[in-house]
Amino acid sequence: MPSPIGKAFRENMLFHWYKRIAAPVEYFWWRLRGSPGPKPPHLVKQRVIQQYAREFGLPVLIETGTNHAHMVYVQKDHFREIFTIELDPWRAGSARRKFAGRPNIHVLEGDSGEVLPKLLQAIKEPCLFWLDGHDFDISTPVKKELAALFQHPVKDHVVLIDDAQYFDGRSQYPTLEQLREQIARDYPGHIMEVKDDIIRIHKPKP
């Protein structure tokens, strides 16, 4: 948990301006070093989300794990509507305050393993999912999230999952092979690819 000064900084829009300026520097430094794994910079993730939204024509972003809402901040003008789910009450409250003037951004507080299945009941169109709500490699609701997604009547969602490096069977994570088998069994017609630490699940590209 950040110090009071760190908290105040993350509450402020200055935090996002700073991250925006730092992102290309971080990106070019990473490229200069030969794009080392396993963790690519945030800018790569931001661009992957925008690329899939464009390619599949998806106007709604659903994120699990808001954190300090920087992904919401950078995507806010790229989507018609954004839903983001955060377990930590302070982070959820902070995100709500930041986007209070934007009725198309919805911050939901709670465990996304519980909240996402409820949200899905109201979803009637294909969406882009950014599954990133976890406590590092210690705990993750990803199995519950995916079970709900794979049962959803809309079958044209694109599901991006961050931190593929953790999917080796540790703690609550399945292995990539288990996930591949689950998709073949429970989500037929979808392919799974892994690149830049992001698992990508979707129908063949249009």
Ligand X SMILES: C[S@@+](CC[C@H](N)C(=O)[O-])C[C@H]1O[C@@H](n2cnc3c(N)ncnc32)[C@H](O)[C@@H]1O
Residues at the site binding ligand X, with contacts judged by CB under 6 A: 63-65, 67, 70-71, 85-88, 91, 111-113, 132-135, 141
Three-state DSSP class for residue 82: strand
Q: Smallest distance from the beta carbon of 110 to ligand X, in angstroms?
A: 7
Euclidean distance between CA atoms 201 and 206, whole angstroms: 14
Closer to ligand X by CB, 51 or 189: give it.
51
Least distance from ligand X to the Cβ atom of residue 133, Å:
3
Query: How far apart are CB 184 and ligand X at their closest, in Å?
Result: 26
Chain residue at closest Cβ approach to ligand X: 65
Q: Closer to ligand X at the Cβ: 86 or 197?
A: 86
Which residue, 91 or 202, has its beta carbon nearer to ligand X?
Answer: 91
Residue 8 or 184: the one with the smaller Cβ distance to ligand X is: 8
Locate the DSSP E strands across 127-177: 128-131, 158-162
Report in angstroms how near the CB of residue 86 gets to ligand X at its nearest.
5
Count of alpha carbons within 13 angstroms of residue 183, beta-carbon side? 20
The burial class, CB within 10 Å (0-12 / 13-18 / 19+), for 78 is middle
Which contacts qualify for 53-56: CB closer than 8 Å, 24 or more apart? 53/78, 53/79, 53/128, 53/158, 55/205, 55/206, 56/126, 56/128, 56/156, 56/158, 56/202, 56/205, 56/206
Minimum separation from the CB atom of position 59 to ligand X (A)? 19
Which is closer to ligand X, CB of 81 or CB of 88? 88
